[in-house]
Amino acid sequence: MSRRIIGSLSLRLRVIIVWPRSRSLLLRLEPYSTTPIVVGTDIYIVVGSEKHTDPEHSVWKVAYWKVASWSKVACRFEAFGWHVICVKNGNTEYDETCAAIKEAKSVTEKPTLIKVTTTIVYGSPNKANSYSVYGAALGEKEVEATRNNLGWPYEPFQVPDEVKSHWSRHTPKGSALESNWNATLAYEKKYPEEAAELKCELPAGWEKALPTYTPESPGDATRNLSQQCLNALAKVVPGFLEINLRFGVREHGMGAICNGIALHSPGLIPYCATFFVFTDYMRGAMRISALSEAGVIYVMTHDSIGLGEDGPTHQPIEHIASFRAMPNTLMFRPADGNETAGAYRITVTKRKTPSILALSRQKLPQLPGTSIEGVEKGGYTISDDSSGNKPDVILIGTGSELEIAAQAAEVLRKEGKTVRVVSFVCWELFEEQTDEYKESVLPSGVTARVSIEAASTFGWGKIVGGRGKSIGINSFGASAPAPLLYKEFGIIVEAVVDAAKSLF
């Protein structure tokens, strides 16, 4: 039995719904085998509170607020096309519950919901059917009272002999199942090519398919450059099925379903996309990606005020900082084509770590000095006219603002200053580097540092130090063309130059 952490119940439903779909993708290889290929399980069990099962939360609220009865959960799932079985007394009717599970396994043309009515803390004489035990222990006295009420004479952690006997009867069955499973591994020897495809391993040299760019290459929005990378990878992935799932405007469900695909088989690499600001709607699913080690690739476009007239409701401000704070998550903000390709080179191989690519709506130039290899370090130097690892100032940028940092460097160099420009495309990868490498990029002896990013400055103090300056946006955006917004919020070359001069 495989056990996964997949989150709160509404999230769990979305994760497991996709597992049969993932299974069907792999079972297309079964005709090559003389024995069945078992790549999933036949039944998925989710346990939780009835009130947390609703896939349409606002609809449930209307019912809960007495506009309609919230108890009609079964009817709603029937309306969604599910097969529904109701067990009226889950407290004591064991046979009824077993029969429901048996019936559910016999229904193969649609998903099944088994609605089991139980009493929370059944058997507790003083706290049964009370919310007080939802997040707290019963306490020693109530535990003893419950044991007496249920007629349970055994000591804590004592397993009755009849339970041991019943459980031991399953051991031979389990051994036989294991032997049968091991026999199916002969499939790999008889059909090595198909077996390799079943493992979904990437072909050798796959990364060579990623596009590369020069400063003379046409500029483009990194969201479009991301599309170029994905199309290039699709050509070299064996057995690529070109399957797009039509999620609709359902970010939370989309993220959860991608978790299900990734957890079903590490060889299936799901990615999903939406506006970066709408990660607010699927943050729960994204957090579970990190917690459960699901290597989902989140392609997030319209990454700043650069999206323009859609205004502050669509302009992410705090989002980058919040995901940098999330454990086991890679937060990328590439500046051009090479950095976008570099991000994909890493994310495709990170099967236990989710990645987020924050991509621009506006067109960006292909910058001198950027590279696919540099992205692997998280932060790297794209230009430097100093000697001895002692520039007068270090300018640090990400995404669309790396160009601004590079332009500011040219202004300062004309005034006789030595300047290093650093792309900080992924903080998490930079933190993984050796102390020697980090010192080579951000020497501790150079305290004159300026960062620029069209987002919250939260967290940048760690990078620029106590003396450094951070240019960003610590308020909500506005509705206007992108160039006007950049000027209004001070995300401009002049601001970087002035900040640098204040440190000399």
Q: What is the predicted pLDDT for the residue at 43? A: 52
HSE (CB half, 13 Å, CA atoms) of 290?
17
Answer whether residue 207 shows pLDDT above 50. Answer: yes
> Is 474 in the same domain as 340?
no
pLDDT digits (tens, 9 = 90+) for 146-202: 999 999 999 889 999 999 999 999 999 999 999 988 887 777 778 887 777 777 778
- Environment class of 188 (CB within 10 Å of its CB; exposed 0-12, middle 13-18, buried 19+): middle
Q: What is the predicted pLDDT for the residue at 68? A: 45
Answer whether residue 6 shows pLDDT above 50. Answer: yes
Answer whether residue 38 shows pLDDT above 60. Answer: no
Q: Which residue range forms the structural domain that includes residue 388?
A: 376-501
Instruction: With respect to residue 294, please indicate whether it lies within any of the assigned structural domains.
Output: yes
> Is 452 in the same domain as 478?
yes
Residue type, 118: T
| Structure-model confidence comparison of residues 249 and 41, the more confident one | 249
Q: What are phi and psi of 353, to 5 degrees?
A: -135, 120
Encoded tokens for 268? 């299936």
Instruction: Give the CATH number for residue 112.
Output: 3.40.50.970
> Is 23 in the same domain as 131?
yes
Scan for tokens 């990078």, then name that residue.
463
Instruction: With respect to residue 408, please indicate whether it lies within any of the assigned structural domains.
Output: yes
Instruction: With respect to residue 193, please indicate whether it lies within any of the assigned structural domains.
Output: no
> Is 341 in the same domain as 411?
no
Q: Based on the residue annotation, tell me whether 201 is a catalytic residue of this protein.
A: no
Mean pLDDT over each residue of the chain, to the nearest integer? 88
- If pLDDT is split at 50, 70 and 90, which confidence band does 16 have? low
Read off the pLDDT of each residue in 368-393 and give the average, rounded to a whole number: 96
Scan for tokens 């020697």, then name that residue.
436
Instruction: With respect to residue 365, please indicate whether it lies within any of the assigned structural domains.
Output: no
> Is 158 in the same domain as 18?
yes
> Is 43 in the same domain as 113?
yes
Answer whether residue 49 shows pLDDT above 90. Answer: no
Q: What is the predicted pLDDT for the residue at 37? A: 41
Q: What is the predicted pLDDT for the residue at 22? A: 59
> Is 345 in the same domain as 381?
no
> Is 121 in the same domain as 231?
no
| Structure-model confidence comparison of residues 373 and 387, the more confident one | 373
Give the integer Cα–Cα distance in Å for 312 and 373: 35
φ/ψ bin of 371: left (φ > 0), alpha (ψ from -120 to 50), beta (otherwise): beta
Read off the pLDDT of each residue in 403-421 and give the average, rounded to a whole number: 98
pLDDT digits (tens, 9 = 90+) for 238-280: 666 667 888 888 899 999 999 999 998 777 899 999 999 999 9
Exactly one of 142, 194, 251, 339 is catalytic; which is it? 251
Tally of domains in the chain: 3
Answer whether residue 74 shows pLDDT above 80. Answer: yes
- If pLDDT is split at 50, 70 and 90, which confidence band does 11 have? low
Strand partners, 301: 275
Task: Evaluate the CA torsion angle 365, 482, 249, 279 in order and state its sign.
Answer: positive
> Is 250 in the same domain as 344?
yes
Give the integer Cα–Cα distance in Å for 211 and 229: 6
Among 358, 388, 404, where does a domain finish?
A: 358
Instruction: Give the CATH number for residue 401.
Output: 3.40.50.920
Q: What is the predicted pLDDT for the residue at 25? A: 54
Rounded alpha-carbon distances, angstroms, from residue 481 to 79, 292, 308, 487: 45, 40, 5, 10
Q: What is the predicted pLDDT for the residue at 483? A: 96
DSSP 59-93: HHHHIIIIIS-TTTHHHHHHHTT-EEEEES-TTT-
Pair 311, 323: CB distance under 8 Å? no
Instruction: With respect to residue 4, please indicate whether it lies within any of the assigned structural domains.
Output: no
> Is 157 in the same domain as 249?
no
Instruction: With respect to residue 366, please indicate whether it lies within any of the assigned structural domains.
Output: no
Instruction: With respect to residue 2, please indicate whether it lies within any of the assigned structural domains.
Output: no
Share above pLDDT 70 across residues of the chain, in percent, rounded to a whole number: 85
Scan for tokens 């991000």, then name that residue.
343
Encoded tokens for 204? 């050798």
pLDDT digits (tens, 9 = 90+) for 323-349: 999 999 999 999 999 999 999 999 999
Instruction: With respect to residue 194, please indicate whether it lies within any of the assigned structural domains.
Output: no
Beta strand residue intervals within 251-379, DSSP E: 271-275, 297-301, 330-332, 355-358
> Is 226 in the same domain as 116?
no
| Structure-model confidence comparison of residues 5 and 276, the more confident one | 276
> Is 14 in the same domain as 162?
yes
Among 330, 358, 386, where does a domain finish?
A: 358
Give the integer Cα–Cα distance in Å for 6 and 284: 10
